[in-house]
Amino acid sequence: MTVALDRSYDIATRKRIDLFPYFLLVPALLITMVIVAWPLVETVRLSFTDASLKPEENFVGLANYEKMFSRRFPEVIGRTFYWMALSVSFKMLVGLLGAVLLNAAVPGRALFRVLVMPPWIVPIAVGVFIWGWMYNGQFGMISGLMQRMHMIGTPLEFLAYRDTAFMATIITDVWIGTPMVTVYLLAAMQGISKEMQEAAWVDGAGRFYRFRRITLPLIMPAMATMALLSAIWTFNSFDIIWILTEGGPRGSTTTMIIDTYKTAISRFKYGEGAARAVMIVCFLSAFTGFYFFLLSRLAKRGEA
Amino acid sequence: MIDKYRWWEVVAIYAGIAVFLTFILAPFVEAFVVSMRPLDALFSIPYRFITEEMSFRAYVTMWENVPLLGLYIFNSFLIASSVTVFALLAIIPAAYAFARFKFKGSNTLLAAFLAVNMVSGAVLIIPLFKVMHQLGLLNTYFAMIAPGTAFVIPTGIWLLRSYLLKIPKELEEAAWADGASRMYTLRRVIIPVAMPGIIVVAIATFIVAYAQQFIYALTFNSKNELNPLPVGLFQFFGRQEVVWNELMAASLVGIVPVLVIYIFLQRYIVAGLTAGAVKE
C-alpha cells in the first residue's frame, strides 16, 4: 500500500520540484529569519559601526574590536570560560551522582524522580530570587547555618565579595542545570540492557566494578552530549548573574553575555556591544560545530 | 537477585538521595518558611529556621503592597500562552514537512533549526532592541512574545517530528486515495492522530516560555502594567528594604501554576524537555 505515496513523489520529482514541504516550512522559517538570522547578520554589521542612540551610524572598521581588546575584555573571556568550566563540571558530577542514586531500585524512587525537576521548570528568575535571599549575610539561611556550625565567625555577605559572589552564581547555576543532567543521564542508564549487567553479575562482578566497566562506558556518549549542551547553555546564561550581582562586585561575575548587555543596553553603545556579541557567536559556533561533529561520530558508531 | 541491596547499602542510597534532594528542594522550603514569618522575626539574629508567629499573613498583605501582582501573573500566562500558540502554528507544519517529505535541503534545514538552539536571545538582543525601538514596538506584548517564540520552535519541531515518524504512512495514503488534498489530510487526518504528541510539545513549550521571559521583558518593556511576574518582582528585589516575606510569598504563588501542571503531567514534561538534548 505504498503505491499512492510513491507515485505522488515520482510525479513531483520528475516533473517539477514539489513546493508543498517548503510551503509547510514558511511560518517556522519566517519567524527564525526575522528573530534569529537577520539579527545575527545585523549584529556583525553593527560591530563595525559606532551605532548608538544618535540617528546616524558611521563605519569605523575594526575600531570596536581594538578598543574592546585593549581594555579588560580578554580577562572577561577568561572569566567566562572559568565560570563555565566550573559550573559544567559541578553539574555533570552532581547530575551523575543523582542519576546513579535515582537509578537504584529502592522503594519511593518514582517519587524522588518527580522531586528532581522543579529547579528547571520554575521560572529561572523566581528561583534566583530565592537564592538571593539565601545568600543574604545577615539573615540568609546559608550564612546562618554556617555560623551555627562555626564554619564562619561573623555573618558573611556572599554577594558582596568577589570570590564568594563568583562561587554563589556558580552554585545557583548548578542548582538550575542539575535536574536536566540528572534526568538525561538517568534515561541513558535505563537504556542499558539488563542482560549485560546480569552476565557480569553472574561472573561475580561487584556493583562498583559493574558501574565502572559497564554503566560508565555505555553512558559516555550521553555524558559527552550533555556536557557540551550544558556548556552552551551556561555560556548563554544571563538571568542568574544579572539578578544576583549584575556582574559585580567590581566586575568579578561579569561574563561575556553580561558585558555585552551592559555595554549595549545599559550604556547604549550598540556598536561596541555588537563586537562583544560577535565574539560570543564565534565561540558558540565552535561549540555547535563540535556538537554536530560529536553527533555524527556517535551516529556512525550507532551509540547515540 | 541483582537488585537486592544489603541493609547498609539501602541506608547509603537513601542518605545519598536525601542529600541530593535537599540541595534541590531546600530553596523552596526556605522560601516557604520565609513567606510564613513576620518581617521583624525574619530580621532576627542569630538565624533560626522556625520562629514564633508563623502565619499566612504575607499572602494577604502582598496583594496590597504589590498592587499589580495579579496582573504580573496574568501577563506571564498571556505571554507564555501566546508563545505556545504561535510556536505551534509554526511547529506543526514544519515537523510534518520534516517527517514525511523528502525535499532538497531538508537535512541542512533541520540542522540549521537545531543550531538556533545554540544561541540565546541575550546574544541577539542588540539588533532586536534597535529594530523594536525604531518600529515603536517597545513596551508592547508583541515585543515580549515574538523573540520567545523563535527560540522554542527548534526543539518543538524536533520533538514533534520524531512523534510523527511513528504514525503509519497508510493513514495519509488512504486519505489521498479518497481524493483529499494534502492540506486537508494534514488538518483532518494527521493533526487529530498526532494530538497526544502535539499536547506534549505544547506543554513543554508553555513551561519553557513561562520560565524564560525575564530578559525580553527586562529589555523591551518598561511599562509596569505589561510586566510578567519575574520582572515585576525584580523591581522589588532591587530595593533597599526588600519585603522578603512578601517577595517569597509572591514568588511561590507565581510558580504554583507550573508546579501543578508539572505534577499532573510530569511524565510528558520530562520527555518533552529532555528531547531538547538531541540524539539521532
Per-residue pLDDT of B28-48, as tens digits, reads: 998 888 888 877 766 666 666
Q: What DSSP assignment string belongs to A64-81? A: HHHHHHHTTHHHHHHHHH
Per-residue pLDDT tens digits for A243-281 = 998 887 888 899 999 999 998 888 888 888 899 999 999
Average pLDDT over residues B58-62: 82
Predicted confidence band of residue A166 (pLDDT cuts 50, 70, 90): very high
Predicted confidence band of residue A218 (pLDDT cuts 50, 70, 90): confident
| Radius of gyration of chain A from its Cα atoms, rounded to whole angstroms | 25
Average pLDDT over residues A217-240: 89
Query: What's the confidence (pLDDT) of residue B50?
Result: 66
A249 burial level (CB within 10 Å; 0-12, 13-18, 19+): middle
Cβ A173 vs Cβ A80: under 8 Å: no
Predicted confidence band of residue B89 (pLDDT cuts 50, 70, 90): very high
Please tell me the distance from the alpha carbon of residue B237 to that of residue B178, in angstroms, as a whole number. 62
Nearest CB to B255 within list A21, A126, A277: A126
Provide the residue type at B261 as one letter: I
Please tell me the distance from the alpha carbon of residue B114 to that of residue A182, in angstroms, as a whole number. 22
Query: What's the confidence (pLDDT) of residue B181?
Result: 86
Q: Which of A144, A149, A162, A139 is nearest to A248 (CA)?
A: A162
The Cα of B65 is separated from the nearest Cα of chain A by a number of Å equal to 18
Inter-chain residue contact B230 with A123, CB threshold 8 Å: yes
Predicted confidence band of residue B80 (pLDDT cuts 50, 70, 90): very high
Cβ A72 vs Cβ A251: under 8 Å: yes
DSSP secondary structure letter of residue B44: -
Higher pLDDT, B6 or A255: A255
The Cα of B141 is separated from the nearest Cα of chain A by a number of Å equal to 15
Give the range with max mean pLDDT: A193-207, B86-100, B201-215.
B86-100
| Radius of gyration of chain B from its Cα atoms, rounded to whole angstroms | 24
Count of CA atoms in the C-beta half-sphere (13 A) of B214: 23
- CATH code, domain with A218: 1.10.3720.10
Per-residue pLDDT tens digits for B207-249 = 889 988 899 999 999 888 899 999 988 888 766 677 788 888 8
Average pLDDT over residues B9-27: 92
pTM of the entire structure? 0.87
Q: Is A268 left (phi over 0), alpha (psi -120 to 50) or beta?
A: left
Provide the residue type at A139 as one letter: F
Q: Is B109 left (phi over 0), alpha (psi -120 to 50) or beta?
A: alpha
Q: Does residue A15 form part of some domain?
A: no
Inter-chain residue contact A43 with B123, CB threshold 8 Å: yes
Inter-chain residue contact B115 with A288, CB threshold 8 Å: yes
Inter-chain residue contact B94 with A121, CB threshold 8 Å: no
Query: What's the confidence (pLDDT) of residue B239?
Result: 66
Chain B residues with beta carbon closer than 8 angstroms to that of A222: 279
Count of CA atoms in the C-beta half-sphere (13 A) of B191: 13
Chain A residues with beta carbon closer than 8 angstroms to that of B276: 229
Q: Is the pLDDT of residue A301 over 80?
A: no
- Which residue's entry shows cell 545585523? A42
Q: Which of B52, B67, B154 is nearest to B113 (CA)?
A: B154
Inter-chain residue contact B126 with A264, CB threshold 8 Å: yes
Inter-chain residue contact B103 with A280, CB threshold 8 Å: no
Query: What's the confidence (pLDDT) of residue A197?
Result: 80
Count of domains forming chain A: 1
Task: Look at residue A14 and give its three-state secondary structure.
Answer: helix
Inter-chain residue contact B233 with A141, CB threshold 8 Å: no
Query: What's the confidence (pLDDT) of residue A3?
Result: 44
Chain B residues with beta carbon closer than 8 angstroms to that of A176: none
Least confidently predicted of A145-154, B223-232, B248-257: A145-154
Give the range with max mean pLDDT: A41-45, B241-245, B254-258.
A41-45
Q: Does residue A26 form part of some domain?
A: no
Least confidently predicted of A163-172, A187-196, B147-156, B227-236: A187-196
Nearest CB to B96 within list A24, A198, A207: A24
Query: What's the confidence (pLDDT) of residue B74?
Result: 92
Cell of A189: 542508564
| Residue ranges, CATH 1.10.3720.10, chain B | 68-274
Inter-chain residue contact B146 with A31, CB threshold 8 Å: yes
Q: Is the pLDDT of residue A168 over 90?
A: yes
Query: What's the confidence (pLDDT) of residue B240?
Result: 63
Q: Is the pLDDT of residue A12 over 60?
A: no
Sign of the four-CA dihedral B39, B45, B46, B51: negative
Please tell me the distance from the alpha carbon of residue A40 to that of residue A277, in angstroms, as a whole number. 9
Q: Is the pLDDT of residue B121 over 60?
A: yes
Nearest CB to B230 within list A24, A117, A126: A126
Question: In the beta sheet, which residues pair with residue A49?
Answer: A59
Chain B residues with beta carbon closer than 8 angstroms to that of A147: 46-47
Give the range with max mean pLDDT: A139-148, B83-92, B160-169, B243-252.
B83-92
The Cα of B194 is separated from the nearest Cα of chain A by a number of Å equal to 16
* Core vs surface per residue B212-222: b (16+ CB within 10 A) or e: bbbbbbbbbbe
Nearest CB to B215 within list A175, A197, A238: A238
Higher pLDDT, A47 or A58: A47
Residues 6+ apart with CB under 8 A from A158: A135, A137, A140, A142, A143, A164, A165, A167, A168
Q: What is the mean pLDDT of chain B?
A: 85
Inter-chain residue contact A129 with B23, CB threshold 8 Å: no
Inter-chain residue contact B27 with A131, CB threshold 8 Å: yes
Query: What's the confidence (pLDDT) of residue A131?
Result: 92
Q: Is the pLDDT of residue A114 over 60?
A: yes
Residue of B nearest to A204 (CA): B2
Query: What's the confidence (pLDDT) of residue A127?
Result: 92
Question: In the beta sheet, which residues pair with residue A25?
Answer: none
Q: Does residue A223 form part of some domain?
A: yes
Nearest CB to A124 within list B21, B43, B211: B211
Query: What's the confidence (pLDDT) of residue B278?
Result: 43
Inter-chain residue contact B46 with A18, CB threshold 8 Å: no
Query: What's the confidence (pLDDT) of residue A1?
Result: 39
**Could you list the residue range(s) of the whole structural domain that residue A109 is in?**
73-301
**What share of chain B has pLDDT > 70, as a percent?**
89
Chain A residues with beta carbon closer than 8 angstroms to that of B23: 94, 175, 178
Q: What is the mean pLDDT of chain A?
A: 85
Q: Does residue A188 form part of some domain?
A: yes
Average pLDDT over residues A157-180: 91
The Cα of B177 is separated from the nearest Cα of chain A by a number of Å equal to 7
Provide the residue type at A208 as one letter: F
Q: Which of A103, A289, A301 is nearest to A221 (CA)?
A: A301
Q: Does residue A33 form part of some domain?
A: no
Predicted confidence band of residue A302 (pLDDT cuts 50, 70, 90): low
Average pLDDT over residues B184-189: 88
B107 burial level (CB within 10 Å; 0-12, 13-18, 19+): exposed
**What share of chain A has pLDDT > 90, as a percent?**
34
CA distances to A96, A220, B145 from A180, in Å: 11, 16, 25
What ipTM did this prediction achieve? 0.86
- Which residue's entry shows cell 566550573? A86
**CA A49 to mean position of chain CA atoms:** 30
Per-residue pLDDT tens digits for A199-212 = 888 888 788 888 88
**CA B172 to mean position of chain CA atoms:** 33
Chain A residues with beta carbon closer than 8 angstroms to that of B113: 28, 32
Average pLDDT over residues A4-16: 51
Class (C level, CATH) for B68-274: mainly alpha
Inter-chain residue contact A116 with B21, CB threshold 8 Å: yes
Inter-chain residue contact A18 with B101, CB threshold 8 Å: yes
Higher pLDDT, A55 or B36: B36
Nearest CB to A39 within list B106, B124, B274: B124
Inter-chain residue contact B273 with A121, CB threshold 8 Å: yes
The Cα of B173 is separated from the nearest Cα of chain A by a number of Å equal to 6
Higher pLDDT, A9 or B4: B4
Inter-chain residue contact B20 with A97, CB threshold 8 Å: yes
